[in-house]
Amino acid sequence: MDAGKLLASISDASAETEFYTPMPHGYVLGKTKFVIVFGTVMSGLGKGIFSSCLARCLKDKGLSVAPIKLEGYLNVDAGTLNPYRHGEVFVLDDGMETDMDLGTYERMLDQDLTRAHFTTSGQIFTRVLTKERKGSYLGRDVQMIPHVTGEVKCKLRELAVATRADVIFVEIGGTVGDLENAYYIEAMRELAFEEGPNSCAFVSLTYILEPRTLGEQKSKAAQLGIRRLMAAGIQPHIIACRAHNPVTHKVREKMAVYCNVALDRVFSMHDCESVYLIPEMIRGAGLDTTVAGLLKIQDRLNSDSESSSWQAWAGYMNRLRTGIAPVNIGITGKYTALRDSYASIIHALEHAGAALGSRVNISWVDTTEISEENVGEKLRDVHGIIVPGGFGVRGAEGKITAINHVRQNGMPYLGLCYGFQLAVVEYARNVAGLEGANTTEIDPDCLHPVIDMLPDQKKIEGLGGNMRLGGYDVQVKPGTMAYEMFGESEMIRLRFRHRYEVDPRYIEKLERAGMIFSGRSPKYPIMQILELPRDVHPYFVGTQAHPEFTSRPLSPDPLFVGLVRAALDRAYPDGLPAGVAQAIREMEAAKRPLASQNTPMRNRQPATAG
């Protein structure tokens, strides 16, 4: 059957065909290529990391790429997921709440993604049932195959039309064998069948065990997991082997023999110092060239683009490797036992450290254990602290105690979202003379509700409905530290995820007491960035936003760079190390005071670039 007849048959919703698949307007069968990544053995191995790094390598070759994450859970988005269960909730510019892998893709590809790049079973089933109620299936009994799988394929093709990407990178959440992933796997098999030869490259990311008691690597679990994928009709073209140590030649041979994959396509994705070194590993193994060959898109490659892109990336990796001036940053929160809860903050600190020629060491401080008696001891070994975003009462007073300590002792401070709000509470209590000040999230009946839900937000009903989500413009006050750090831009764009604000009734009182609100909403009395004057404190900054979501390796967020810069001054009071001083001079020479390529997002490459 030729492509035209196949396209006509699979788009037909009648009861006379089994080829039903809805096709978005403008989609050309076989034009877009797909790289599809599955996981075996266990979840959390880094499918998103591998997929984004491989996508980065192909983007460097001049190809347009677009990622999508397919999640098996029935939630419509990730907004209500506990960080202990699924890691950090990442927010896209359009307000979509996703899992942390979307952050990995944005950072690695330097692209702002949209809700079209994230799908859950909840979204898929909602689409199917909505169509069923509208009578869109013309009397058919609605089934997993072809209707649900057809909807999955339609989502991928809609993304292809919207982005005009050469290659769509599809990451299947969880592992092969998970009940909720069975229909995703079947949809990928059908996709390859419908799109035709050289349309899809299948990647299986697996795990090589290395029990301490045996002292050698074992591949049987990995083999069996991939055999299960093969039983579902998927023959992987590439196997990425996660392991603590480099995967031995013997183990790679076993994987090749038992899984029908050429030895040079069995890749050792062993632990390394930073995920940003993995693209170099992929290039070294030739996997990017292999994928281009499998998809027959060598004619679309651009060697000049690859050279210039790789030169910029190599410069970042060199700074990452050579940054030797250590500085200690404390992250004070209540999810410190699970590092994935603060994944974007960790990456933002790494970006800032590399930009400054420094190596940022993170100290985790559980605020549920902080008191006025022990706060000095708890923060003794850090040169600056971050109070990150969060919700709820637990640990809040510990955070306020920590904020009071660093403000009084001149320790660099960056408050993010909840950290911004609690900085206002602490300042109101201890400087502005508003005894009993609090946030109504903690105490609805407090004497001075300096942080409260604004009246317009209270009218919005539904969990998450009254949250301020996604990207918003922020007007920056000239002459402030924020204005300087953001490259003297009066309008920037940041991302938000919160429902409580500074109560406008207290803004004037706080400003009279010395607090500067250097970033505000252009339209509403909503405070976005606060700071204290430099003659009062070397670096005391808070933002209602989550700037960690928009920090990138080649364009670190200015607020994080400012924190690390101030922490370095505290760590090296007798003079900055030569490498740090040189990095700062280079930034100033490039007219990027404290690194500020991270200006309004509209100036960055959008996800829909063709």
- CA 167, 171, 172, 176: dihedral to nearest 10 degrees? 100
Question: What residue type is assigned to position 136 of the chain?
Answer: S
Distance of CA 524 to the CA centre of its chain: 28
State yes or no: is 417 an active-site residue: yes
Residue 49: in which H helix or E strand, if any?
Answer: helix 47-60
State yes or no: is 546 an active-site residue: yes
3-state SS, residue 348: helix
> Considering Cα of 548, then 90, then 415, then 411, what sign does the dihedral take?
negative
Diameter of the chain by CA atoms? 81
Distance CA 483, CA 463 (A): 35
| Residue 597 Rama label (left phi>0; alpha psi -120 to 50; beta) | alpha
State yes or no: is 351 an active-site residue: no
- How many other C-beta atoms can be found within 10 angstroms of the C-beta atom of residue 579? 16
Distance CA 506, CA 515 (A): 11
Which entry of 200, 405, 417, 498 is annotated as an active-site residue? 417
Which entry of 88, 151, 195, 548 is annotated as an active-site residue? 548
3-state SS, residue 576: coil
Distance CA 498, CA 457 (A): 11
Quick one: DSSP state of residue 606? B
Annotate 83-133 with DSSP letters as a single string: HHHH-PPEE-TTS-EE-THHHHHHHHHT-B--GGGEEEHHHHHHHHHHHHH
Question: What residue type is assigned to position 271 of the chain?
Answer: D
| Residue 605 Rama label (left phi>0; alpha psi -120 to 50; beta) | beta
Quick one: DSSP state of residue 265? G
Structure tokens at 453: 């839900």
By annotation, the residues acting in catalysis are 417, 546, 548
